[in-house]
Structure 1
């Protein structure tokens, strides 16, 4: 379970294990997208969320601190949610997902910003505590980042082009 929660040991990298978890999520998302596009990424994200929830539940049972820094499976799931607009857009346009590279950068930066700062609903989910709080705050941060990616993409295509 520790290998799942730490994403094969990535969570033990220092400094900033959450950022390392988000960074490793990027090539994983690319590979998943290459194999099956957005729909596979969506399904694998759901699977990782559920698997992460179970791993966190088992690893933190009876502990005072339910979100140790080395648990980064939540960052992977949240980062993938942040990448949904990029993957969906590439799938719908039948283009190489790397052509949308600004979206990758925006998704990473925005997700890390929302995950670290924990504004509004992200913080509320984090305060929920337990395994659900561990996993859910990153999903909410991913949703906020995904909305930001869509807004930035729209601004670029509507205003700048």
Structure 2
């Protein structure tokens, strides 16, 4: 094994998905980490990537926590907007728009961080990287109304974990994409699948209320 290239062993932060060997080479990690490397590592691991047992599940729980915090903040956004004469629909639209932009920014930053951490670890999609699970979990809640009950947190978490571990077509194929893009893309699509089912569940539950 040369100093420049390492064999690409694709790990997984999903406890039910074993590591696999891919053909894409990974550059050997540098001897010293820069400030950018440290920042990228912090973003990529979200403070839970090094925890024992199922880092992907820990990452999803971070996503649930962030979404719960966003819901609390949404009430302030709603009051801010309505105090200035906005209708309830306009306030909801403002909140949804801000959430989408925040998710897009987090996806971009997560892709950068994952791309930088991958060669630091020397493995393809290292298990310590959980920013992809965080983003995917947040996407799963994107169509859930502010007024929805606590059950949506449990359902959204369960559905995202199901799709992230099961990886129905074409989620698994996205893993072959290079660097951070491959790390993020499959979880983003798993989040979209979960969001679609969540939207259907919220629609069905509206008839029961």
**TM-score bracket, shorter-length normalisation:** 0.7 to 0.9
**Deviations, residues 26-70 of structure 1 (Å, cap 9, x unaligned):** 121222333243333222211111111111111223876220111
What is residue 136 of structure 2 aligned with on the other side? 78
Normalised TM-score (structure 2) = 0.66
How many equivalent pairs are there? 150
Judged with a 3 Å threshold, the aligned counterparts in structure 2 of structure 1 residues 63 and 6 are, in CA distance, closer, same or farther, namely closer
Matched, 1:54 2:112: yes
What is residue 103 of structure 1 aligned with on the other side? 152
Counterparts of 1:1-161 in structure 2 under 5 Å? 1-7=40-46, 9-36=47-74, 37-61=95-119, 65-86=123-144, 89-90=145-146, 95=147, 99-158=148-207, 160=208
Q: Which runs of 5+ in 2 are unaligned?
A: 1-39, 75-94
| Runs of 4+ residues deviating >4 angstroms | none
Q: Which has the higher helix share?
A: 1
Moved more, 110-119 or 53-62: 53-62
Normalised TM-score (structure 1) = 0.84
Tell me, what secondary structure is at the counterpart of 2:124?
coil
Q: Which has the higher strand share?
A: 2
Q: Which runs of 5+ in 1 are unaligned?
A: none
CA RMSD in angstroms, aligned pairs only: 1.9
